[in-house]
């Protein structure tokens, strides 16, 4: 009996406590926002979603490297010499095609570390939060605006340019090699001359050269003997 009375008292007490709170709130200002008809004013520098102005992206990948959870995936293709990709709004020359720029917002921890290193200020946090989805893959946001055909064309041009440069380099090397060979051959020919002369000279020295010397020596001896005989004859005639 005592327990039944206690339970009844507790029941009424909790009912009146709850109703009292409800009744009190009837006279306080409502804080409920009638979303989506009403929207709260968001705080300054709120971090809700990343956005990339791909026209200003130079493909430097600084944001990708800064991301601690690796949720940015960037792909670039080098432009060829005849491509003019223009400049960003900050005056940076664009040299790379950005064929892939995906941000996985499911992984993003909203640290904003990717935003600050960007040299062209093209990656920013924006006030967008209505992107809930049933599939995680839908939270990977692609920002590159290149079509598969454009990517293929850019790759093809780059390969062709690389091939042309490689061929040109090979030709230049070949020409250089030929020139070096020609110079070496010329040098050898010139170098051979004194050798030949030396060998000829030695031949002469060993053969004809020795004979010539001996002949000249004999001639000198003969002249000396003649002069001596002449002097003696002159002396005798004077005596
Ligand atoms: S906000 Fe942080 S986690 Fe998100 S993409 Fe940028 S660096 Fe990565
Ligand atoms: S840091 Fe900026 S310019 Fe460099 S790849 Fe990222 S978004 Fe593009």
Q: Which two tokens stand for residue 236?
A: 């005798």
Q: Give the separation between CA 71 and CA 58, rounded to whole angstroms.
A: 19
At 87 the pLDDT is: 94
At 233 the pLDDT is: 81
Q: Is 67 in the pocket of ligand 1 (CB under 6 A)?
A: yes
The string of DSSP letters for 167-178 reads HHHHHHHHHHHH
Q: Give the separation between CA 189 and CA 73, rounded to whole angstroms.
A: 63
Counting from 1 in the atom list of ligand 1, the atom nearest the Cα of 111 is: 2
Protein residue with least CA distance to atom 2, ligand 2: 118
At 230 the pLDDT is: 82
End-to-end CA distance of the chain: 194
Counting from 1 in the atom list of ligand 2, the atom nearest the Cα of 121 is: 2
- Mean pLDDT split into 10-residue runs, the chain, 239 residues: 92 96 90 90 92 96 97 96 93 95 97 96 94 96 96 95 94 93 79 50 52 83 83 76
Close Cβ partners of 177 (under 8 Å, ≥ 6 residues apart): none
Look up the pTM and report it: 0.67
At 204 the pLDDT is: 44
At 51 the pLDDT is: 97
At 205 the pLDDT is: 45
Answer whether 61's CB lies under 8 Å from 76's CB. yes
Fold of 49-153: Alpha-Beta Plaits (3.30.70)
Answer whether 56's CB lies under 8 Å from 91's CB. no
């Amino acid at each position: 009996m005592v327990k039944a009375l206690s339970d009844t008292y507790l029941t009424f007490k909790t009912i009146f406590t709850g109703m009292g709170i409800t009744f009190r709130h009837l006279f306080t200002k409502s804080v409920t926002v009638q979303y989506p008809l009403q929207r709260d004013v968001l705080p300054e520098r709120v971090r809700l979603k990343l956005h990339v102005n791909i026209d200003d992206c130079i493909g430097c990948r600084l944001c990708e490297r800064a991301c601690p959870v690796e949720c940015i995936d960037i792909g670039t293709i080098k432009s060829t010499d005849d491509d003019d990709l223009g400049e960003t709004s900050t005056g940076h020359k664009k040299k790379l095609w950005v064929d892939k720029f995906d941000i996985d917002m499911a992984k993003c921890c909203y640290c904003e570390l990717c935003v600050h290193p960007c040299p062209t200020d093209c990656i920013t946090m924006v006030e967008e939060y209505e992107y809930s989805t049933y599939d995680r893959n839908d939270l990977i946001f692609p920002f590159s605006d290149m079509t598969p055909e454009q990517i293929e064309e850019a790759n093809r041009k780059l390969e062709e340019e690389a091939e042309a440069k490689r061929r040109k380099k090979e030709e230049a090397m070949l020409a250089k090699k030929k020139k070096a060979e020609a110079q070496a051959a010329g040098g050898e020919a010139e170098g051979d001359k004194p050798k030949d002369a030396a060998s000829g000279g030695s031949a002469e020295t060993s053969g004809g050269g020795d004979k010539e010397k001996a002949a000249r020596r004999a001639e000198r001896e003969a002249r000396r003997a003649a002069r001596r005989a002449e002097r003696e004859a002159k002396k005798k005639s004077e005596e």
